[in-house]
Chain A
């Protein structure tokens, strides 16, 4: 756990230093981007840095979402539903309105645990 704490502290500090980060979950990060699913966001939510941006190129694991979300720098697999709602691999059966909401739901679900870049995240042949 000490390693986890240090990691979280470092990433949080980095955001504060560079972007006057928004520490409170209730603070709208208006300077960080749009709520539109094609915009970007970058904020500290519950002590962890969450970021989202349109994905460059069609990476094999973006599956047409064309959008990438990160938690403390580790990519969180997200997916856009036909109705415009979003899910992530850690909350896969519970659609939320935006990629930022999916990132926040992931932080809630993780309860401080580090996200793993997971090799299982590849379609089967």
Chain B
């Protein structure tokens, strides 16, 4: 396909130089580090992140105005955090002029559509200062995660230290060192159905996108995409925020990213197409064609 990784200026393998950030980061601490730098430098006034929620491992969108608040949102929560829900409010009661937002590919799509076609997002289009996208294969409703961890993995949610989808498995790490893995096929039926029409793996529309695939443990693969992203990334590099390696020199590298991206897109493209003949002479709607 060749377009599966989107448009980008540079791609590297990177990790934060802050030991503090890395302690609880999912991978290389890219999102936390880049937002922390942008906050310190006044490039953003605040960032919409997935903060801690009312139940264990359930994220709640929140506006982080300090590095301390950013630290609380580290780590992947494999269920829905509607970050875009705050995109107008941050420019209202929070009074932000330069907004940072992190999100999945679909949330980056929502942000860009909101900038070009703002129907109910007055003054939002010009205030997006840094949109960081994270790679995403699929997401889960909270109840799915509960079911996977409690029923399938047999662990209590509050006792979980980290969850990870990688190397073909769903990994659950306990606070006391125990590790349970589930084969991915167990997880499939719990996926959010709306993810099955998604044609973006590596957050093509973000200023900077990042994810674990392609880089070794503790490191992240980073795509620098837009002019804004490039500008901020170069400054952060110059300020010594990140250690990097050329992506060509790390294993498994871009080849695996491309492979997974292609797999996601072609599988979901088929789903989109099959919707056209879902009923008997009746189709399900295709958002990529029309709102009708």
Partners in one complex: no
